Structure 1
Amino acid sequence: MAYPQHTTTGMTTHPDLTEMRERLERTASSSGAIAVEGLILLTGVYTAISPWAVQFSSQTNITVSNLIAGVTTALIGLGLALAPERMFRLAWAIVPLGFWLVVSPWVVTPTHGARPGIVWSNCLAGGVTALLGLIAMGLTVRVARQSPR
């Protein structure tokens, strides 16, 4: 008994695929997108080094939290800068990282509380991170909604 062979080509042969990639590449290489990518990278680096810059590295839990969140944000920013056409859909992950930075001083250090420097540093870095993530997401949505020309 012979079984019918089904060949599916998927989206790789879709005629609009190349046009969508070109639009994404144009948006990702615009000056606004480049600035957002660089700011995401810098915010991630600041977040990673903030325990030593603000001098709260003796509090291990918040130090590890900031280090992980900062390195993750910086890596996403670096990926956006190096391969925007592949990484732009990951921009949504930056927003929860920003929110985590804002609430982490109270979540990670609930027993003895966080010093004002930790709170200010994390709230500022978290707010900027979340805002930049929303801007990067907006760029992605704008590309997806543009009509073909």
Structure 2
Amino acid sequence: MATEPISMHPDIAQLRAKYEAVAETQTAQAVEGLTFLAGLYLAISPWVVGFTGFTTLTGNNLIVGIAMALLAIGFAAAYERTHGIAWVMPLVGAWTIVAPWAVSGDVATTSTILSNVVTGGVAVLLGLGAMAIGMRRKS
């Protein structure tokens, strides 16, 4: 007797269809797009704001910003498969907020704090929005 893989189970297929339908809403697309832009900004913020001399924070923002943008791409491309890691985005935002004080070196200046706190706050809110998208029921 041949058994079909669990991924073909009707309940799994129904859940994927639900997440796919929810991800196609305008709200979801706005959250994903803004998350991508926030990630790009974070990645280039050392050059935009002018704190490239702080190599630890520059490297941190570049890596975390790229990770944020990649998460947004994952949500946009296959939310039905990536919704389980949406909880990571608010944590990434929280890290971005505390990074000027947490990375090595004396990098906590007005410009680095302002840039990271605002971008991190936006990332936390967008991350919570990404998490909430999966909880919505299709109307």
TM-score past 0.5 threshold: yes
Task: Please state if 1:14 is matched with 2:9.
Answer: yes
Structure 1 Cα separation of the partners of residues 40 and 32 of structure 2 = 13
User: What 5-or-longer segments of structure 1 have no aligned partner?
Assistant: 1-5
Greater C-alpha radius of gyration: 1
| Superposed displacement of residue 20, structure 1 | 1.4
Q: Percent sequence identity over matched residues?
A: 41
Task: Please state if 1:97 is matched with 2:107.
Answer: no
| Superposed displacement of residue 84, structure 1 | 2.2
| Superposed displacement of residue 123, structure 1 | 0.1
User: What 5-or-longer segments of structure 2 have no aligned partner?
Assistant: none
Task: Please state if 1:76 is matched with 2:68.
Answer: no
Could you tell me which amino acid in structure 1 is paired with residue 80 of structure 2?
E
**Partner SS, residue 141 of structure 1:** coil
Could you tell me which amino acid in structure 1 is paired with residue 10 of structure 2?
P
Task: Return the TM-score normalized by structure 1.
Answer: 0.84
| Structure 1 runs (4+) greater than 4 angstroms displaced | 6-10
- Distance of aligned partners of 1:74 and 1:12 in 2 relative to their CA distance in 1, 3 Å threshold: closer
Q: CA RMSD in A?
A: 2.1
| 1:1-149 alignment runs, 5 A limit | 11-109=6-104, 112-142=106-136
**Partner SS, residue 86 of structure 2:** helix
Task: Return the TM-score normalized by structure 2.
Answer: 0.89
Could you tell me which amino acid in structure 2 is paired with residue 67 of structure 1?
L
**Partner SS, residue 57 of structure 1:** coil
Structure 1 Cα separation of the partners of residues 2 and 117 of structure 2 = 53
- Distance of aligned partners of 1:46 and 1:13 in 2 relative to their CA distance in 1, 3 Å threshold: closer
Instruction: Please give the per-residue CA displacement for 1:20-53, whole angstroms capped at 9, x wherever unaligned.
Output: 1211111011110001000000000000000000
- Distance of aligned partners of 1:41 and 1:113 in 2 relative to their CA distance in 1, 3 Å threshold: closer
Structure 2 Cα separation of the partners of residues 107 and 25 of structure 1 = 38
Conserved? CA contact 2:20–2:78, under 8 Å: no
| Superposed displacement of residue 89, structure 1 | 2.0
